[in-house]
Each structure stands twice: as C-alpha cells, then as structure tokens.
Amino acid sequence: MSESDCLFCNIRDEKIPAAIVYRDNDVLAFKDVTPRAPLHLLVIPLRHIASLTDARPEDAELFGKLMLAGARLAADAGHGEDGFRVVMNAGPNAGQSVFHVHLHVLAGRELAWPPG
C-alpha cells in the first residue's frame, strides 16, 4: 500500500478530516471515529510505518514518543489517576485494519481483561 492510499497518511496530510487533538514533529493524535470507550484516541507516527513488524531498531525513540504522547493525552483528559489502556495491534489476526502503525488510547470506563 502506498502512502497515498493510506487512511492515516491522508488524515496526516489533511486530505481527510479528523478530530485532531495533538500534533508535533513526529506524532499525530485524533479521536477514533468508532470509539470503544468514552476516550478513544489514535496516536500515529507522522512517518508511514505499516505495522509494528516493520519497525526498525532506529524507530525505538519514535515508538517511545507514541507511548508518551498517549499517556500525556490520557492524563490531560483526566484519566491519569483512574487509569487508561494503550493497545497496538500488529497484523490482521491481531485486529489491525489500517496498515499504518497506530496506538489506541482508551479510558473513561472499566476495561475488561483479557481484551480479545
């Protein structure tokens, strides 16, 4: 899949509207259009990486930035104390449906375990 065909790259490039809540030089976060919790954000790298399985060792800092942005956004939304979940699916059997790395940030209700 090329970046021009990628849903999240098109959101990044403002070709598709989204409720963006955060953007910096490396990371973009926006509200999920089909939320599974009162707070359901997607945090993506601006650089297209199809899946976690495509990440390289030099991507470690970028993946850390995704996690830190997700934690900060959950805390800013008032869920730092009561808790939140971050999830990254890798591949179709894990539930990945958009092949651009993305971190789900979920909060605002009790989340069951196991999740799948």
Tell me the three state secondary structure of residue 51: coil
The CATH number covering residue 54 comes to: 3.30.428.10
* For range 85-108, the mean pLDDT: 96
* C-beta separation of 9 from 100 below 8 A: yes
How do residues 21-80 score in pLDDT, each as one tens digit? 999 999 999 999 999 999 999 999 999 999 999 999 999 999 999 999 999 999 999 999
Single pTM value for the model? 0.94
Please check whether residue 50 lies inside any domain of the structure: yes
* Residue 1 pLDDT: 61
> Could you give the residue numbers annotated as active site?
102
Evaluate whether residue 58 is within a structural domain.
Answer: yes
Strands (E), 47-111: 84-87, 103-107
Q: What is the number of H-type helices and E-type strands within the chain?
A: 2, 5
Specify if 52 maps to a domain.
yes
Domain enclosing residue 71, as ranges: 3-107
pLDDT at residue 116 in the model:
63
| Structural domain includes residue 73 | yes
**Predicted confidence band of residue 115 (pLDDT cuts 50, 70, 90):** confident
Report the number of distinct structural domains present in the chain: 1
